[in-house]
Structure 1
Amino acid sequence: MVKSVAIVTGASQGIGRATAIRLAKDFEVLVLVARNRENLKDTSRLVQAIGAQTLVVDVDISTPGMPEVVVEQVLARFGRIDALLNIAGAVPQIDLFEMTDEQWSSGTELKLHGARRMTLAAWPALKASKGSVVLMSGNSADVPKAGYAAVATINAAIVALAKAFADRGIQDDVQVNSVLPGPVMTGRRRSFLEKWAPANGMSVDEATIKFPQNAGISRFGEPEEIANLLAFLVSPPARWMTGSALRMDGGEVKSV
């Protein structure tokens, strides 16, 4: 029987992939969850190279019932869940007055309800193991603007949801926190810059420098930096930290 199992959603790319790779140093098994099976296989190879076992589960957790399928597979195979890292979810950055109901709903279903359903499904196993949960928010939760109203609204809801889970976790001995990253250089961010740069009369390299400056920070964050924070949150030294919303954004949000 294995001693430690962590589930990472959104593990096919970006922060999710970086987190799975980082956690391979601390957990015997990494359960990799996302929609893109080929990308998950790539992540799996990288995790296994470090020495951890993997289970690839290519499902859409925005679909009701799918989180239960993930948890059932994990418990049938390994018998336990020690950590759940809810990282899946990309919300379109579209102006408040242009975003359709469908776009709002798709972002909400994956990032907010996907995390809620995954946490609910895994809760009994996490209670049994005295495990840890992290929900991925974003620093836009603190600075909502018309240009990315849905992102900000969903991220703020995730912070509140994490605190509600943490409140229940006090009696169930389950640790729950949320993380609010700033702009991170993921593949999705690079694709955005490849469109943004020429539209603003500059190269991608120039945009990579200019864009963070416009946000009042020195540079973009790296997925591995967020992954290190997540790894700390589900480690024994962080055990008394629960109900916290931790911002890691290079100082972009200036409010107290």
Structure 2
Amino acid sequence: MPNSVAVVTGASQGMGRSTAIRLARDFSSVVLVARDRTHLEDTAGKVREAGAEALVIDLDLSDPAAAGTVVERTLGAFDRIDALVNIAGAVPQIDLFEMTDEQWDAGLALKLHGARRLTIAAWPALAEAKGSVVLMSGNSAIFPKAPYAAVGTINAAVAALAKAFSDRGITDGVQVNSVLPGAVMTGRRRSYLEQWAPRHGMTVEEAIDKFPQNAEIERFGRPEELAELMAFLVSPAARWMTGSTLRMDGGEVKSV
């Protein structure tokens, strides 16, 4: 889309990085937001190789002032926002009875409130452009369990927030959806498995085989597969799809 701008948070690695690179094929400019500037610059290089202009904004979206800075810098550079994809916000997988208040607050501050504040800050520009928003939740929102209670609780809140935004978007002309990915093989997940495997007498490769079996799925998902879904959701082809909560989890959730 000529003269079009997409903002992607969590763009330094994993699904955010893959989404930013994928959107470079459809948007003339991609704004990359995350805390790690070194990794953001690497993503920016891939975005430029794909044909789009890249703007790197390295800051922490759990900071209440960050959302305004992202929007101000984006509008200063490109004068518009057509799509916002909220991916930032990893929540640690810690047992319900072991997770501290500080860990709960950190997860909420980035994944829920960071997305909430940025979406609100960008809303006037999105409304002017009749743009699109995607909020990344996770399939644990549907079945929260004790070993990752915070992940499920915060993901459920993000999905509910997306529904609320989509309701307002009907009036303001902004399309909003949420995505619930399952087990995707990101660098962060591999690091987790590298710690988990020795504690259970396995190699990392054995753990990579074991997890999909336990989840009753064929394999882990790939970040690039989620990126294709994100690209569809912010494309004109998906324009009538709003207020939807889409699972992409390899069939892990068995309920209708």
TM class, shorter-length: over 0.9
Alpha-carbon offset, residue 66 of structure 1: 0.8
Alpha-carbon offset, residue 78 of structure 1: 0.6
Alpha-carbon offset, residue 155 of structure 1: 0.3
Residue equivalent to 2:192: 192
Residue equivalent to 1:203: 203
SS of 2:178's equivalent in the other structure is strand
Alpha-carbon offset, residue 161 of structure 1: 0.3
Q: Distance in 2 between matches of 1:15 and 1:235?
A: 18
Alpha-carbon offset, residue 3 of structure 1: 1.2
- The RMSD of aligned alpha carbons is 0.7
Residue equivalent to 1:55: 55
Alpha-carbon offset, residue 197 of structure 1: 1.4
1:68-122 per-residue CA deviation (whole Å, 9 max, x = no partner) reads: 0110011111100000000000001111111100000000000000000010000
Alpha-carbon offset, residue 201 of structure 1: 1.5
Residue equivalent to 2:92: 92
Structure 2 counterparts to residues 141-156 of structure 1, below 5 A: 141-156=141-156
Q: Distance in 2 between matches of 1:196 and 1:76?
A: 45
Q: Which runs of 5+ in 1 are unaligned?
A: none
Residue equivalent to 2:173: 173
Residue equivalent to 1:183: 183
Structure 2 counterparts to residues 24-35 of structure 1, below 5 A: 24-35=24-35
Alpha-carbon offset, residue 142 of structure 1: 0.3
1:56 partner amino acid: V
1:122 partner amino acid: A
Q: Distance in 2 between matches of 1:233 and 1:163?
A: 15
Residue equivalent to 1:42: 42
SS of 2:43's equivalent in the other structure is helix
Residue equivalent to 1:122: 122
SS of 1:26's equivalent in the other structure is coil
Residue equivalent to 2:227: 227
Residue equivalent to 1:215: 215
Q: Distance in 1 between matches of 2:203 and 2:150?
A: 29
Residue equivalent to 1:80: 80
Q: Which runs of 5+ in 2 are unaligned?
A: none
Regions of 4+ moved over 4 Å? none
Alpha-carbon offset, residue 37 of structure 1: 0.4
Count of residues in Structure 1 that have an aligned counterpart in Structure 2: 255
Q: Distance in 2 between matches of 1:77 and 1:180?
A: 32
Q: Distance in 2 between matches of 1:193 and 1:202?
A: 10
2:31 partner amino acid: V
SS of 2:95's equivalent in the other structure is coil
2:125 partner amino acid: A
Residue equivalent to 1:255: 255
Alpha-carbon offset, residue 200 of structure 1: 1.5
